[in-house]
Structure 1
């Protein structure tokens, strides 16, 4: 990093988040809330559709983490656990930092949320409500296994809630200690960074659409072909 740029505080607006990542993020917020409400109100048809949509988006995000924009790629932001703890130490000491995309600690939260959502939606495919409704793959297992996965399905949602609370707490911590707004860049895509920082490469929209279609096809095959077997 250019020390002169740091010293003078010279910064510029840089696009750090592409449209696909931002749409994924906010769509997921709405869908997870809808999944909870639909389950609590007994609207299981809606609950299943929301679950399929979440699974599609999670698969898309995994694919986008492999071939997408620089800040979306796992290889660009996943660091070692030591780096994550060191970063948290910098935050608690109120040491200023500028990350183009996810910081080392935030990277682990991203991976944890994706893993939990993937587990949540997959177990949902095998779960049942104990009465009339069951996931499209529940018939492939014995009733005992389906009941077990139903319990895990509910437990994993509790873990998702804990992870979301931790995520929101981290955002508030950044705002309080470092005066950094992490929400605005995820809304607009733009962030103020030192002049010495290069703008990350943004992958084309057509590639994102192709990955989304691929993810949707996988989910459709699982639900409508494997589930109907």
Structure 2
């Protein structure tokens, strides 16, 4: 047995920042702090878009090609998937589903309004029917996200009780295993991607948010 670097810092930064920002987004929506809500939404979107790019160019265990398997592969490699490293088997599909739902949550939020003061930047670009659907989807999709996150938390707790190191690996990135060390990329590239996407959002909506403050 040896200790390997399972998760790079980019994956862990995204994972825990996503959790904190989702809590903040829920709180600001409930309290009506919609400008802060939008700032947090753009922050999460920058992290998410960077993570999606990282899924193609990042460390081995961060890549979608590492953990996404066809249904046939899932059936043939079930035992191997259970003993592999990273997001293997169904957990890989759960991770991708959460990312896609977050992306749809962000896009639908761009087309919604609170009917008082705040409109998403794409609200005037779509029909009233689309805006109404986006508002409905934005509300109900968040409930779906909460349900899937609850399943994710339960799965993490199961790993914690099994003491297989999977849960703690998301904190410090390391895992004791017999598997060979996967290739790990520099986290600086991920952070650069985050800054690029955050800069694009700032140029697009920064002044509008400042005027609403």
TM-score, normalised by the number of residues in structure 2: 0.88
Cα pair distance change 1:148/1:98, threshold 3 Å: same
1:23-38 aligned within 5 A:
23-38=13-28
Residue 192 of structure 1 and its aligned partner are, at CA, apart by 0.6
Name stretches of at least 5 consecutive residues in structure 2 with no aligned partner.
none
1:2-13 aligned within 5 A:
11-13=1-3
Answer yes or no: is the 8 Å Cα contact 1:85–1:105 preserved in 2.
no
CA distance, structure 1, for counterparts of residue 197 and residue 38 of structure 2: 17
Which of 111, 115, 119 is 1:134 aligned to? 119
State the superposition RMSD in angstroms: 2.4
Cα pair distance change 1:14/1:138, threshold 3 Å: same
In structure 2, the partner of 1:219 is 201
CA distance, structure 2, for counterparts of residue 23 and residue 97 of structure 1: 25
Name stretches of at least 5 consecutive residues in structure 1 with no aligned partner.
1-10
Considering only CA atoms, is the larger Rg found in Structure 1 or Structure 2? 1
Which of 159, 168, 171 is 1:184 aligned to? 168
Cα pair distance change 1:210/1:149, threshold 3 Å: same
TM-score, normalised by the number of residues in structure 1: 0.82
Residue 42 of structure 1 and its aligned partner are, at CA, apart by 0.8
Q: How many residues align?
A: 209
Question: For 1:118-164, what per-residue CA distance to the aligned partner results, in whole angstroms no more than 9, with x for missing partners?
Answer: 00011101111122211122121233321221111111101100110
Answer yes or no: is the 8 Å Cα contact 1:174–1:181 preserved in 2.
yes
1:37-116 aligned within 5 A:
37-84=27-74, 97-116=82-101
Cα pair distance change 1:82/1:164, threshold 3 Å: farther
Residue 187 of structure 1 and its aligned partner are, at CA, apart by 0.5
Runs (4+) of structure 1 exceeding 6 A deviation are none
Answer yes or no: is the 8 Å Cα contact 1:123–1:149 preserved in 2.
yes
Deviates further, 38-47 or 207-216 = 207-216
